[in-house]
Amino acid sequence: MENTVVKKLYSFEEYWQMELQSEQRHEFIDGQIIAMPGVTKKHNLINGNLLFTCKQALKGLPYYVFMEAVKLQIASQKDYTYPDLCIAPMQGNQLNDLLIANPVLVAEVLSEGTKLYDKVDKFLRYKKVSTLQYYLLIDTDAVLVDVYQKLPDGEHWESKPYTQLSDMLALQLSEVMVQIPIAAIYEGVFG
């Protein structure tokens, strides 16, 4: 006789109720509740540097920069994730305190346990977000920021790796060009 493991599928309501009461963060993917792992010091430093650098670069512009603890709804009551960092316009993000709407950039700081998930599964889900223009994957073990940018056709993406601390990442957000130094992202980690 063959043993089979049956995964319980949860409703959105069950997930939401649990998440509101939990001290740990969980993603909700196709009815499954997935606990978010803890982070390393390098992960935390890189994400904090990215937050600070993005906030400085966007100062005075109509964008919010969200970090780790705010959910991004990918599909209505189906997929909810916690991006390490997310940039979204202020317009459309004032009403709901728990969810990010209309993101233009999502960044994930890679860890050994989530690297494959972030590069493949999450990216496939994030591609469904019509407003998303950039997806950043930031390595914690080497200077490597992979930037995926949506092409003007709205369906295809191109990637560009940044591997030098002297590199300058350029992002076109609406009519504004934002520049982020790679050295600033990795400050205190490399260099």
Domains and CATH numbers, the chain: 37-185 (3.90.1570.10)
pLDDT along the chain (191 residues), means of 10: 65 82 78 77 95 94 89 78 93 80 94 86 91 96 96 95 96 86 96 69
Q: How far is Cα 72 from Cα 105, in angstroms, rounded to an integer?
A: 11
Coil vs helix vs strand at 119: helix
pLDDT of residue 4: 57
10 Å Cβ neighbour count for 48?
A: 16
63-76 pLDDT, tens digit per residue, is 999 998 788 888 76
27-68 pLDDT, tens digit per residue, is 778 788 777 767 789 999 999 999 999 999 999 999 999 998
- Which residues, at least 6 apart from 98, have a Cβ–Cβ distance to it below 8 Å? 70, 71
pTM: 0.85
pLDDT of residue 49: 97
